[in-house]
Amino acid sequence: MTLKGRTALVTGSTQGIGRAIAEQLAAAGADVVLHGIEPVEQGLRIADELAAASGVRCAYVSANLADAQAAAGLVAAATAALAAPDILVNNAGIQHTCGIADFPAERWDAIIAINLSSAFHTMKAAVPGMRSRGWGRIVNIASVHGLVASVNKSAYLAAKHGLVGMSKGVALETAAEGLTVNCICPGWTDTPLIGPQIEARAAAFGGDRQAGIRELLREKQPNLTLLPPSRIGDVAVFLCSEAAAGITGVALPVDGGWTAQ
Ligand SMILES: NC(=O)c1ccc[n+]([C@@H]2O[C@H](COP(=O)([O-])OP(=O)(O)OC[C@H]3O[C@@H](n4cnc5c(N)ncnc54)[C@H](O)[C@@H]3O)[C@@H](O)[C@H]2O)c1
């Protein structure tokens, strides 16, 4: 139980990668504030399930991170719901794929707000408390698309490259104060986020969902395996552990070899 006595706030943690990270932080002993856009009763049910399964304290806060004020208030809301976060995982994110000429400006704004600006607001709010306690772990879920590009992802690329750069900067600002700030850069991971891309690929190749997945993996991910979200959770727990106290400012690919090519 390496994280016993710590409190974690994980954004976008009612499903997908965020939920796996929350579950594994709880399994490592951390108390966890879940966050999502679901109504409070629904989120609290998930928090209660996690508390019962792991024996730690859990809470839930709802906030639309497209709204800068809500993002700026999230750390205070988590502190009121459970305790000040020692661990902050910025995981919430959305995707929209489209060529630049037709990319809807409204989707650009939403992706930048949710995938990038929200992490600015939560880090700004969380760092002073971490500093005063002399210990903090920030894990930002970027993407292989924070390191390399693919077509039709201009907003996502801008947000994820921005998140990697911002994280390195905050890592330098806090390196001597007991804090670490790192990014995890997942490749294709088995969550609802990539559903539309799987369907589009399946339609283009005239196959079923499995054919769509095979095509996506064949193109980019050499291990030819959709990552289970728990793979990302494992790495997040590692980055929060004492073993990783010397690691800050890295953007760590967990991508089945994608960015080695
Ligand atoms: N699945 C992949 O292949 C993959 C690969 C690389 C990076 N990622 C990143 O992992 C993170 C998690 O994605 P996922 O794959 O688990 O997808 P997901 O769709 O399952 O989860 C996304 C989460 O973000 C939250 N969210 C969406 N809009 C929000 C809003 N307006 N306000 C607050 N929260 C909001 C959702 O509630 C959800 O919990 C994202 O940042 C994504 O970019 C995913």
Flag whether 255 is in a domain.
Answer: no
Give the 3-state secondary structure of residue 103.
Answer: coil
139 and 154 co-located in one domain: yes
65 close to 118: Cβ distance less than 8 angstroms: yes
Segments forming the whole domain that contains residue 35:
7-187+228-250
Q: Is 60 a catalytic residue?
A: no
* 74 falls within a domain: yes
pTM of the model: 0.98
**pLDDT score at 1:** 60
Pocket of ligand 1 (CB under 6 A): 12, 14-18, 36-37, 64-66, 91-94, 114-115, 141, 143, 186, 188-189, 191-194
Atom of ligand 1 nearest to the CA of 38: 37
Instruction: Clarify whether residues 84 and 198 are in a common domain.
Output: no
Clarify whether residues 234 and 222 are in a common domain.
Answer: no
C-alpha separations of 113 from 104, 160, 163, 176 in Å: 14, 12, 11, 29
Question: Which member of 60, 156, 188, 238 is catalytic?
Answer: 156
Residue 101 and residue 71 share a domain: yes
**206 and 122, same domain (yes or no):** no
What pLDDT, on the 0 to 100 scale, is given for residue 205? 86
State how many domains the chain has: 2
In the chain (261 residues long), the average pLDDT of successive 10-residue segments reads 93 98 98 97 98 98 98 98 98 98 98 98 98 98 98 98 99 98 98 93 90 94 97 98 98 98 97
Contacts of 150 (CB under 8 A, 6+ apart): 157, 220
Atom of ligand 1 nearest to the CA of 66: 31
12 CA → ligand 1 middle, Å = 6
